[in-house]
Amino acid sequence: MAVGLPENIFITKLDAAANWARSNSMWPMPFATACCGIELMATAASRHDLARFGAEVMRFSPRQCDLLIVAGRVVMKMLPVLQRIWLQMPEPKWCISMGACACSGGVFDTYAVVQGVDRFIPVDMYVPGCPPRPEQLLAAVIEMQAKVRRTGTVMGREFTIRDTPDGPTPFDQDERYRIQDANLIQLGGFSAAATGKGLQGRSNRG
């Protein structure tokens, strides 16, 4: 200890002090759209008790939260809502993508479901599972706290350097093929398709 300091006075870095406070009082925004939401509730309930890690304050307003937990599949119609919620959360903020559907679309490989929310919003932590057990979500929250302590800065410099999208591009290559096919149909490339009696023998990609 430094000589000359009175009792109960510590010297630390501002970053470390901020990280200590932030990591021990994460307020989650539950974006629960499917069965992962049930596990999220179980995580917050008495048996698994998310309050042990200071994250029990589920705020249903994004303006009071700093940890977005996307629990469940997100459909295309819902994505603007998710993006708006993310933009409404004040800094500093983090995002956990919980479950197979939020991470990759899961079994819902259809036109209506987002194939992973990291294509459109930044994600810090992925939780695998269908749905993940509460222990897994607890592990993710603990890991999130460790990440905040490890990389956090009081001015949020670790956020400003992430200026490229975290996830894959919104369009997969096979999706580009399907868009090309659609354009060909509109241009009359498949004349039989215009009568509705065509398309036999031609493989519909996807």
Identify which range of 35-43, 45-53, 73-81, 134-142 contacts other proteins by CB under 8 A: 73-81
Q: Which is nearer to other proteins, 42 or 154 (CB)?
A: 154
151 binds other proteins (CB under 8 A): no
Query: Per CB under 8 A, does 204 bind other proteins?
Result: yes
Q: Closest distance between other proteins and the C-beta of residue 38, in Å?
A: 25
Which of 4, 12, 111, 191 is close enough to bind other proteins by CB under 8 A? Answer: 111
Nearer to other proteins, 21 or 194 (CB): 194
Q: Pick from 119, 140, 144, 145 the residue near other proteins by CB under 8 A.
A: 119
Q: Select from 9-17, 37-45, 131-139, 198-206 the region that touches other proteins (CB under 8 A).
A: 198-206
Contact 98, 40 (CB under 8 A): yes
Q: Say whether residue 188 binds other proteins (CB under 8 A).
A: no
Q: Are 99 and 131 in contact (CB under 8 A)?
A: yes
Provide the β-strand partners of residue 127: 98
- For residue 10, count CB atoms less than 10 angstroms from its CB and return exposed for 0-12, middle for 13-18, buried for 19 or more: exposed
Please tell me whether residue 196 binds other proteins under the rule CB under 8 A.
yes
Q: Least distance from C-beta 180 to other proteins, angstroms?
A: 9
189 binds other proteins (CB under 8 A): no
> What are the φ and ψ backbone dihedral angles of 88, each rounded to 5 degrees?
-80, -15
> Which stretch in 39-47, 55-63, 104-112, 127-135 sits in contact with other proteins by CB under 8 A?
104-112
Q: Is 200 in the site for other proteins (CB under 8 A)?
A: yes
Contact set with other proteins (CB under 8 A): 76-77, 79-80, 83, 86-87, 109-112, 119-122, 159-166, 170-171, 174-176, 178-179, 181-182, 193-197, 199-200, 204-206
